[in-house]
Amino acid sequence: DAGITQSPRYKITETGRQVTLMCHQTWSHSYMFWYRQDLGHGLRLIYYSAAADITDKGEVPDGYVVSRSKTENFPLTLESATRSQTSVYFCASSSDSYEQYFGPGTRLTVT
């Protein structure tokens, strides 16, 4: 049972490049989320999705784009990466039971 996976686990990219972080869950959870984790800030919500083709902004959406064409996938794209987007990114999913289950994280470095 794979649960929720993220790829890549580590990524180094240059300023201005586009990069996509992948998230896949096998539970058929309705809800999926993207967070970034930065020291001193805990986790902050970037985008979430309540179902396929339904997405909405979270606390810090600027510079990010998401899509959800299939229930199980929720990719996060940085259209033009900036150094301030260097962070650890976590994907999470949830059924209607309110607990969110997190993937292992992607450590992104923008040089």
Q: Give the interface with other proteins as residue ranges (CB under 8 A).
A: 31, 33, 35, 40-45, 48, 50, 56, 58-59, 88, 90, 92, 94, 98-102, 104-105
Calpha distance 46→59 (Å, rounded): 6
Of 16 and 104, nearer to other proteins (C-beta) is 104
Give me the phi and psi of 83, to 5 degrees please: -60, -30
Residue 35, SS3 per DSSP: strand
Query: Nearest distance from residue 58's CB to other proteins, in Å?
Result: 7
Q: Measure Cα distances from 7 to 20, 25, 40, 61, 93 in Å.
A: 9, 12, 25, 20, 15
Query: Nearest distance from residue 10's CB to other proteins, in Å?
Result: 11
Query: Nearest distance from residue 80's CB to other proteins, in Å?
Result: 26
Of 92 and 108, nearer to other proteins (C-beta) is 92
